[in-house]
Amino acid sequence: MERVVLIKYGELTTKKGNRKFFVNTLYQNMQKKLKDDRVKISRDLSRMYLSFAEEDLDKILKKLNEIFGIHCYQVAYQINNEIETIQKQALEIMKEKTGTFKVETKRVNKNFPIPSLDFSRQIGGLILKNNPHLTVDVHHPDTTLMIEILDQVTYLYTDKVMGLGGYPVGVQAKGMLMLSGGIDSPVSGYLALKRGIQLEAVYFEAIPHTSIEARNKVITLTKKLTKYTDSIKLHIVPFTEIQEEIYKKCNPEYGITIMRRMMYRITEKLAKRNKALAIINGESIGQVASQTLASMSVINSVINMPVIRPVACFDKLEIIEIAKKIDTYETSILPYEDCCTIFVPKHPIIHPNEKECIWNEEKLDVENLVLQTVENTKTITIREQENNEFENLL
Ligand code: ATP
Ligand code: MG
């Protein structure tokens, strides 16, 4: 007797026209994720069937919990369609259960001689007779024993495990994630992946004002996100010169606003070069001076690309809850300085004026600074299953 994992797609089944594409993308993602395991995956438009080596099951289920597009799954016994075999297996499964139960039969194979309701009753009776400690409750049972009788095989299972949901990564185009070492941006990356968006990431550093430890922290965070997608390209932008120029030449009140306008310009360029169609970041409305609606509007106006802010309307506590769930929180709170936290003026402007920004930026050679910085950007590819060593980067 063999066990298989039955995998239901959930949300993607609602997208009728795209269904095949979604299923195929999920299939490829699963193949990649499980490439080192002894598994065989087959699919139809309603679910996937995964055969496995018994001793690998725990490892495989852990990986299934990291794949977007899986609504839920069950570990099912796959047996033949003979009544006696089904009875025997049903008793075997139910002898370990306690409390209340019910039996539900789905008879896809109409040649099977007993109608679904009758068969459920029969099996239920048999279970009761052999397990006097169990009782039937058809409304709120502790255990539901599902019997699915198909043309070739029958599946028996009791427990349903919820998956991550969302869409398979890759059903959307690419997004460029602005990834700092903070709490918000990795969470935003996770939420974007959940919508099926492929990610590349960009990190601005200002060495020697920021440290190699700060960069390694961002590499670690990127690696944590690769759990949900197989690899992420990380673009590391040398931002020191721009920050020093702003600090020397611009009105300090406008320092942060102008710095973020520069970040946006560079990110848009990198996004276009790498065929990303949107920018994703961890801005959250009202969190700091540069994230008031007034600030966001003045910062956003230097680019044309859509900016997606998955945590824009979340409370910090809600963001932290997700950060803990995806295991980025402990890394994010390591106390290394980010380029956003150096050269911070005493009174950053909360309602910046666009004209004032433009006037300040006239003191900088914006176009050249942006181009040069993009040219000097270094890119590394971070993969889930590799030890990533990037010591030779500088
Ligand atoms: P925190 O969780 O402490 O708020 P944060 O990452 O959200 O950290 P903010 O200063 O709030 O930092 O910046 C808002 C957003 O701007 C970030 O979420 C991130 O998307 C982007 N950002 C900030 N600093 C950087 C950086 N050094 N490199 C890339 N993106 C950055
Ligand atoms: Mg933030």
Domain with CATH 3.40.50.620 in the chain: 174-393
Domain 2-162 - what CATH class?
alpha beta
* Top mutation candidate among 179, 185, 222, 291 for ligand 1, by most atoms within 8 Å of CB: 185
Beta bridge partners of 115: none
Residue 289 binned pLDDT confidence (cut-offs 50, 70, 90): confident
Tell me the CA–centroid distance for residue 283 and ligand 1, in Å: 7
Task: Kindly report, residue by residue over 31-65, the tens digit of the pLDDT.
Answer: 999 999 999 999 988 899 999 999 999 999 999 99
pLDDT of 5 reads 97
| ∠ Cα 267 270 275 (to 5°) | 120
Q: Check pLDDT > 50 for residue 394.
A: no
Domain with CATH 3.30.2130.30 in the chain: 2-162
Say if residues 158 and 89 touch (Cβ distance below 8 Å): no
Say if residues 148 and 108 touch (Cβ distance below 8 Å): yes
Q: Give me Rg for the CA atoms of the chain.
A: 27
Structure token pair of residue 364: 């900088």
Q: Output b/e per residue, 87-115; b: 16+ Cβ within 10 A.
A: eebbeebbeebeebbbbbbebeeeebeee
Say if residues 177 and 294 touch (Cβ distance below 8 Å): no
Mean pLDDT of 156-175: 95
Residue 388 binned pLDDT confidence (cut-offs 50, 70, 90): low
Q: Check pLDDT > 90 for residue 345.
A: no
Beta bridge partners of 307: 279
Cis before 348 (ω within 30)? no
Say if residues 1 and 89 touch (Cβ distance below 8 Å): yes
Pick the closest to residue 202 from 366, 380, 393 (CA basis).
380
Alpha-carbon distance 83 to 91, whole Å? Answer: 12
* Top mutation candidate among 239, 315, 336, 340 for ligand 1, by most atoms within 8 Å of CB: 340
Domain 174-393 - what CATH class?
alpha beta
pLDDT of 342 reads 72
Task: Kindly report, residue by residue over 69-113, the tens digit of the pLDDT.
Answer: 999 999 999 999 999 999 999 999 999 999 999 999 999 999 999
Tell me the CA–centroid distance for residue 95 and ligand 1, in Å: 54
Q: What number of other Cβ atoms are within 10 A of residue 375's Cβ?
A: 8
Nearest CA to ligand 1 atom 18: 282
Question: Is ligand 1 within 6 A of the CB of residue 287?
Answer: yes
Residue 313: Cβ-neighbour burial (10 angstroms; 0-12, 13-18, 19+): exposed
pLDDT of 11 reads 67
The residue that leads in pLDDT, 319 or 289, is 319
pLDDT of 384 reads 85
Pick the closest to residue 297 from 346, 357, 343 (CA basis).
357
Tell me the CA–centroid distance for residue 279 and ligand 1, in Å: 13
